Amino acid sequence: MDQQEIVFEDITPTEIPYRIGKHRYVLREASGEVAGKYRSACLKGVENVTAEDGTTTFRRLQAVEEVEPQLVAWCLYTTQADGSLRRDADGYPLDADRVSLEWVKRLPAHIQTALFNKAIEISHLDETEDLDGLRKQIERLTKLLHRLEAQGNGKGREAYLKNSPVATPAGSA
């Protein structure tokens, strides 16, 4: 069997500018380290259950309430006045410019959720690997669909975003 070489020409993480109120931020794709921390946090409170037939399933015992705001805090950076990130000698944003978990938790829920959903999307951390993950995604998307339909007067996501204080990527509204 002939193997094809896998090539990643550009390893630059996705960065999306946001404005929340009068302040500018950049939401950055999770690094491998952050993705691992996020996945570990998601697994807290999950029990491994082995049935008599030897099959293994997982059962969530409790919700881990800080998973969503924590991912946002790991991926969201404050910017300089011109919207650029301060970077170290290797080109990485300064850890000191990450927003705090406490700050994220004080955001209105719709802003925190919008940032979390975008961080999941750009970091490819979707939970669609198994049936439980697909069910969670369907439930989350169904709730979002109903809210958008109700608030957007049937005009969809674009109408909702234009009429909402949700922080949107610069220039998209």
Rounded to whole angstroms, how far apart are CA atoms 54 and 50?
A: 6
> Is 10 a domain residue?
no
φ, ψ of residue 12 in degrees (nearest 5): -70, 125
> Is 9 a domain residue?
no
Reported as type and span, the H/E element at residue 49 is strand 46-50
Taking only the tens place, the pLDDT of each residue in 85-111 is 999 999 999 999 999 999 999 999 999
Question: Do residues 116 and 71 lie in contact, with contact meaning Cβ atoms separated by under 8 Å?
Answer: yes
Which residue type does 84 have?
Answer: S
Domain total in the chain: 1
> Is 81 a domain residue?
yes
> Is 36 a domain residue?
yes
56-60 and 23-28 strand pairing? unpaired
- Residue 81's CB is within 10 A of a number of other CB atoms, namely 6
Mean pLDDT (the chain) is 80
Radius of gyration of the chain (CA): 19
> Is 93 a domain residue?
yes
The band of 41, judged by pLDDT with boundaries at 50, 70 and 90, is confident
pTM of the entire predicted model: 0.65
Task: Determine the structural domain holding residue 141 and report its residue range.
Answer: 15-162
Taking only the tens place, the pLDDT of each residue in 125-169 is 876 566 776 677 677 777 777 777 777 654 544 544 444 444 444
